[in-house]
Structure 1
Amino acid sequence: MATFPAERTAIITGAVSERGIGRATAGYLAAQGWNIGIIDLDDAQSQATAKEIAAQYGVKAHGVGANIGDEASVRAAIDSIEAELPQVVALANVAGVSSPVPYLELDAAEWDRVMSINLNGVHYATRRVAESMAKNRIGRIVNISSVSAQRGGGTFSKTPYSAAKAGVIGLTRATARELGEYDITVNAISPGPVDTDIMGGTLSQERKDELTKDLVVNRVGSTRDIAAAIAFLISEDAGYISGQTLNVDGGLYMH
């Protein structure tokens, strides 16, 4: 059983937005003693978020700006994090965009934008960290999919989002299969409705009540619910779980 180094780093993409899953995950993991690498679009905000986390939790943190849909940009950001922080053991691919455009109004530019960030970006970050993880023979990768992938939408976002998030599940399974021999696990989390801006802004109580009708629990999800699931899947004890999609969705999708 592969063991973690005493000093270890988790990289989180899309970790700047205060109400987002990435930001919640950064804080949750830092509280557990992980050093934190942050990749987000804005370099200054990424650095500021890293400083805040380092000060609050007493860990090392480093933030870098990158366009997640551009491979060279992603590789450079991860190079920078590796130069500044201890061994990268975990990657949480959280960065994503919503897309409420109806299918018959969808143009090529919107399709490409959503695919580029929500699917290509996951591949670019995974591909780069996998090089280091394979060398070190230890790694945990967690990708954020969506219940939209499994249900074909039915949330705020529509077709390109659902297609990209379904692609994330396929990517998760294939990379789990290929990277397993290097003691790297790859899993996906499929959130149900979570109160973040990707749902089209802050959810009103009325909208929350409406969404809860489809669930088997009495509330919509919080970013902490997803952060806790990520923390479990990247933990040392989760080494026998790979290629899985964990539905953290209040029972919305059962199969």
Structure 2
Amino acid sequence: MDVNSFSLAGQVALVTGAAGGIGARVALGLAEFGAAVGVLDVEGSDLQATADSIAAVGGRAHVVAADVTDGDALTAAVAEVESTLGPLQLAVNAAGINNQIPAEDMARADWQRLLDINLSGVFLSCQAEGRAMLARGGGSIVNIGSVSAHIANRGLDQVHYNASKAGVLQLTKSLALEWATEGVRVNSVSPGYTATPMALSPQVWPLVEGLQKDIPMQRLAQTEELVGPIVFLLSGAASYVTGVDLLVDGGAVAW
């Protein structure tokens, strides 16, 4: 096998949720593997820091502010990235939020906001990216799922989050099958507990810290440990892989 099949050199990628956490580290990782990267997040987020980290490794980045719940804004964002960096071939959809609310106390607005961002936002992102890729005969998309799509995390009251991530996995599979003969591959990566600002927040960390004992590897993932699996799925090395969810969870679901 040609080791160069793992390279993303000469390709253009878009990463949503790129201002921090998994999205920021993945955007940098794609640049390290040779891609030019459009970094997207909501207006006012610190996208420039991500772009600066890409420039520091000799990569090219373009900052674009957009809300993933706005399909028209995403279509415009894809067009802007293409006009600046070139035809879009790769995408990682990492935008998402999380919080804890007991199901019996959850307001409809809290349920809807999370589903709008975590599930509808992924669909609208895939739609905008997919249209561009289909028009040119190919591309590869990776959506960020979660171990929470596979299990209900002990002690975490997040029925809305779990449901949204399970939806991302089925959305991914469905899109993969729709586009399988059109040259566009769609896969997902489901991280386990990962050391992001979200997981380390005072609200969540006391529970996440206790859950480490349930992970066979006895630790949280570092964001850079997601780069390799995502690059693999995006790259030519995974040319016959579509509709797959790759768990990166330290063995948590294998118990």
Structure 2 length normalisation: TM-score?
0.90
1:23-38 matches, within 5 Å, as 23-38=24-39
Q: Identify the range of structure 1 (155-164 vs 116-125) with the bigger mean alpha-carbon deviation.
A: 155-164
Q: Partner residue of 1:11? A: 14
C-alpha deviation, 1:237, in angstroms: 0.9
Q: Partner residue of 1:114? A: 114
Change (3 A) 1:128 1:204: closer
| 1:246 maps to 2:246 | yes
Judge conservation of contact 2:91–2:140 (CA < 8 Å) in 1.
yes
Q: Following the alignment from structure 1 to structure 2, what is the Cα–Cα distance between the partners of residues 202 and 34?
A: 35
Q: Following the alignment from structure 1 to structure 2, what is the Cα–Cα distance between the partners of residues 69 and 214?
A: 34
Q: Following the alignment from structure 1 to structure 2, what is the Cα–Cα distance between the partners of residues 59 and 174?
A: 33
C-alpha deviation, 1:191, in angstroms: 1.0
Deviations 1:160-208 (Å, cap 9, x if unpaired)? 1111101101100000001111111111111111011222517999766
Q: How many residue pairs end up in the alignment?
A: 251
Judge conservation of contact 1:98–1:199 (CA < 8 Å) in 2.
no
Q: Following the alignment from structure 2 to structure 1, what is the Cα–Cα distance between the partners of residues 214 and 54?
A: 39
Q: Following the alignment from structure 1 to structure 2, what is the Cα–Cα distance between the partners of residues 44 and 190?
A: 24
Q: Following the alignment from structure 2 to structure 1, what is the Cα–Cα distance between the partners of residues 205 and 114?
A: 28
1:170-249 matches, within 5 Å, as 170-199=170-199, 201=201, 210-249=210-249
Structure 1 length normalisation: TM-score?
0.90
C-alpha deviation, 1:57, in angstroms: 2.2
Amino acid at match of 1:107: A
- Give % identity: 32
Amino acid at match of 1:33: G
- Which runs of no fewer than 5 residues in structure 1 stay unpaired? none
Judge conservation of contact 2:9–2:35 (CA < 8 Å) in 1.
no
RMSD of Structure 2 on Structure 1 (CA):
2.5
Q: Following the alignment from structure 1 to structure 2, what is the Cα–Cα distance between the partners of residues 254 and 202?
A: 28
Q: Following the alignment from structure 1 to structure 2, what is the Cα–Cα distance between the partners of residues 225 and 155?
A: 25
| 1:71 maps to 2:74 | no
Judge conservation of contact 1:49–1:63 (CA < 8 Å) in 2.
no
Q: Following the alignment from structure 1 to structure 2, what is the Cα–Cα distance between the partners of residues 34 and 248?
A: 23
- Which runs of no fewer than 5 residues in structure 2 stay unpaired? none
